[in-house]
Structure 1
């Protein structure tokens, strides 16, 4: 009883006593049922929440919220053979970067929650949490650790350092983990760039050739899963051409590594003459790939177009949306090519028997959701499924779980209530899904007749794939949405001056057309950064901005690319528009002011 009184949820004696009574009652009912010879095929599964914890699911599936929120929010998660859940926290507290959850009365809800393991380089990226051969493996952006699991909820064994990445944390520095059958561990060294440009993410900046980042980044490396204190040079490069990978899994059926890959960003805002706003919103594809040793997935020289079904030359290397370039036949073809910016953050091959047979050996994929689909609805924010056999799709991809965002149209990323992040399979075949915004965790179960599962149960999800604004491919111009206020037209190009049009091209993809920003990029309304020091504001555009800043007391760390290739008149127009829009009413910026700051910078 004392252990229960000490856990983080602060359960009191009355609550625990009530839970125990309920448990005994359930056990008694089950015992009576057994003697009566009328056991249910759903014995052992807890009831789902009345509203499936907010989710849309195929017929006869149910969901229960294991926990409504975790203090440190959540990234990836894993489930032990006894049902204990281990979660990688997004914002670790002083007691550790991991959380352990236990359901003691089998009602599907976590009764004990404890944080543990204080370690180096904890960050909002997370990142991974896996169990392999009795060890709990987890990663930060620069390190991979493991601990031997015991009967205790929180492992009390030695914290072993398996791998250290000696480079400081940068963009795309996630460390997903997968294991093969030969004792190897696979992880990613992400590319700290969007497209290997001379000036990262800056309009019209060419790509470096050959891309020097590919020597040590932008790929998957293989290591000994049991060897401690390894560095990158102790491993072997396994595959390349991978800008950003957050989710990997080993498919035991065909004995291959699979990954879901984030495509590059900003096709329209960096190359507005070659790509329209609609093309920037739906391209390039987020690909699901099978990786064999020596494979190349194309980055940064090529991107995959799911509409034209092929690799195309990146604009940084002379592409215009039509040129395919050389040697594309040597690139790894996707297993599935999803629409752009869905942000696939985890993949799980289902091995259980609880779900209907069609799900066996198929791949569940958690789509975290876009931040750069503006001026069209943000996309993703659901869990998809690819039916497969021996590593080959047996049908088109499907929507398995939706409703996480709790919004019909997601204008800004910050509007989404939840964002699906991690996937894990429980010992009974239940599917667990974690959320990165509040730390909610769902357990999804099947309660129907598996032999009768078919098109009728899938019809609702198929309709969502065709019609839901966060899933369907938007119709060009028709599905554009830039604001939720009464005047939807005021941010459209045709109703703006030149400064506003340039803002929509170069700035709105991050700060949004209404200037309110999102979780990753700061707002431009009522902030000292916009309304204060004019020279500093001009330099943000000319020089870009890196490192942590605070806007209205909130921290932001994403890169602001420099836009020094724009003329003085263009920069002045953009800044004047910002200072006189979104509720701002400051004086304009003149081309002469921009020229003066540019000249002063050159003299430094």
Structure 2
């Protein structure tokens, strides 16, 4: 029976349609089919996240991790603060079985001047760039193998050890634009540009000579070897100390978050209370263009009043603004001493749309907020639109520290440090205490994500002592400790050391203005736990008495006692927490 021509034509049309459509559908589904995300850890590895987000610990205890980078294959490269015993300061990590956990760890990278403050780790144009305290290096990446090829190339060197004004803020964060340029921060050599650094109540140098080679951002050729600072271009100035820096590809501009100055109350108690000194000056988030002047050392920012003010070293009193309107104002500001240590503009597609092109900031955590709880120790998010924040900053990930109130920095179990994005849009966060890395993933329905998904984190922003501005009375952690410590001192210590802390001048030494009392925490705790016997010379006088061990006191009692004597008798040192006492006690038991 002959085939109807119309039927034949229809069959041929359908055949060719299938030939065309099927490959297109195959390509579409292949490109848009997201690789299955690994299961999260129970309790998200200790993190508190917005609804729909989950986390797992990729690796733990690799060493004190600083910044990191994730390549297109998902391999992770980490810069360590302290090299391993063989002098290797870099770590490469691979998840070979796709369970989300790094099962391959390779240490590499022996190089001179490793330095505690080297921090950078970025991948750019097929090279792995990293920094020490004084250099920026790069390795050629090997697309077939985990470890890079050959020896590192020196890109930039900083002769910081011979700097005229000393050196403090020598971290070397780096960022790259889209034209082959590399940006490097050169921090201020001291706190506030004084002739004698950190001497309370003394004026700053004017004009500040340190600005010539410090407290700014320099631009270099990213591909040129053996450059010195003099060979670069000073791109921006008046930026005290930067560790958090990223190039925003959407806006094609450089952004940084600055560490503010220290010790307003200690240096100028007539103008600033301990409470003000705990939360000021603000950490400033800048968009940095060529020629930007952030205002250091002359000005600081007060986020409570939303004003830039004149520093007291230059005639300020906590109110005067002077010519602060002539320098760069921050896009947004965070409470003081949060320690912003990395910045990342999110360009992935895994997270809900509100995160696209917004900024994540890792707050490493404060050290000088006493007598109030230490602040920071979380990751914040700043929504962006057209290159500027489109709303207030949010808490994105908290729980790193592992405790409710952080009395001293050393109490925190983890301190978030570096941020990087994986090829699938997952966000990685490193921490610097032991070297743990989290992978944060979104597994919810994107269309369901909204303001309600942030409520739990918004509540933490208002209530957690490491995030909220402290109450001047209720959050003063030392008030109760000092009161309790005074009672313990009078009961167990005053008979020998006397009520005024000056000792008896014969058998028992003074603790007033004592180097031991104001010295290292661990040594002082051990002295209380172990006691002391035998001759000792204090302030030029010889003593030969016996101080019995006071290990019968609880950790909290010893903490209160030591905090009391450190805040009295002419002494001036930070408080000591019960957690810290507990750690030392455990070490003594296991010896």
TM-score (norm 2): 0.78
Aligned to 2:183: 186
| C-alpha contact (below 8 Å) 2:184/2:219 kept by paired residues | yes
| C-alpha contact (below 8 Å) 1:174/1:190 kept by paired residues | yes
Aligned to 1:163: 156
CA–CA distance in structure 2, aligned partners of residues 141 and 242 of structure 1: 18
Q: Residue 265 and residue 162 in structure 1: after superposition, are their counterparts in 2 closer, same or farther (change >3 A)? A: same
CA–CA distance in structure 1, aligned partners of residues 500 and 400 of structure 2: 38
* Equivalent residue runs for 1:6-405 within 5 Å: 43-70=35-62, 72-93=63-84, 94-150=86-142, 151-168=144-161, 170-326=167-323, 328-405=324-401
Q: Residue 332 and residue 166 in structure 1: after superposition, are their counterparts in 2 closer, same or farther (change >3 A)? A: same
| C-alpha contact (below 8 Å) 1:198/1:208 kept by paired residues | yes
| C-alpha contact (below 8 Å) 1:253/1:361 kept by paired residues | yes
Q: Which SS does the other structure have where 1:45 is aligned?
A: coil
| C-alpha contact (below 8 Å) 1:481/1:488 kept by paired residues | no
Aligned to 1:479: 475
Cα drift, residue 120 of structure 1 = 1.3
| C-alpha contact (below 8 Å) 2:366/2:374 kept by paired residues | yes
CA–CA distance in structure 2, aligned partners of residues 534 and 250 of structure 1: 55
Q: Which SS does the other structure have where 1:526 is aligned?
A: helix
| C-alpha contact (below 8 Å) 1:42/1:447 kept by paired residues | no
CA–CA distance in structure 1, aligned partners of residues 230 and 33 of structure 2: 52
Q: Which runs of 5+ in 2 are unaligned?
A: 1-25, 488-498, 503-514, 542-565, 578-591
| C-alpha contact (below 8 Å) 1:244/1:262 kept by paired residues | yes
* Equivalent residue runs for 1:543-558 within 5 Å: none
| C-alpha contact (below 8 Å) 1:128/1:138 kept by paired residues | yes
Give the root-mean-square deviation of aligned CA atoms: 3.1
Cα drift, residue 398 of structure 1 = 0.1
CA–CA distance in structure 2, aligned partners of residues 582 and 220 of structure 1: 37
Q: Which SS does the other structure have where 2:230 is aligned?
A: helix
Cα drift, residue 173 of structure 1 = 0.2
Q: Which SS does the other structure have where 1:82 is aligned?
A: coil
Cα drift, residue 126 of structure 1 = 2.9
Aligned to 1:426: 422
Cα drift, residue 488 of structure 1 = 5.1
| C-alpha contact (below 8 Å) 1:189/1:219 kept by paired residues | yes
Deviations 1:360-388 (A, max 9, x none): 00000000000011001100000000010
Cα drift, residue 476 of structure 1 = 1.4
Cα drift, residue 455 of structure 1 = 1.9
Cα drift, residue 202 of structure 1 = 1.6
Q: Which SS does the other structure have where 1:278 is aligned?
A: helix
Cα drift, residue 198 of structure 1 = 2.2
| C-alpha contact (below 8 Å) 1:73/1:437 kept by paired residues | yes
CA–CA distance in structure 1, aligned partners of residues 261 and 410 of structure 2: 21
CA–CA distance in structure 2, aligned partners of residues 375 and 257 of structure 1: 36
TM-score (norm 1): 0.76
Aligned to 1:25: none
From the CA coordinates, give the structure whose radius of gyration is larger: 2
Q: Which SS does the other structure have where 1:329 is aligned?
A: helix
Is the counterpart of residue 460 in structure 1 residue 456 in structure 2?
A: yes
Q: Residue 486 and residue 188 in structure 1: after superposition, are their counterparts in 2 closer, same or farther (change >3 A)? A: closer
CA–CA distance in structure 2, aligned partners of residues 222 and 423 of structure 1: 23
Q: Which runs of 5+ in 1 are unaligned?
A: 1-33, 492-496, 501-510, 538-571, 584-604
Q: Which moved more, 1:168-177 or 1:475-484?
A: 475-484
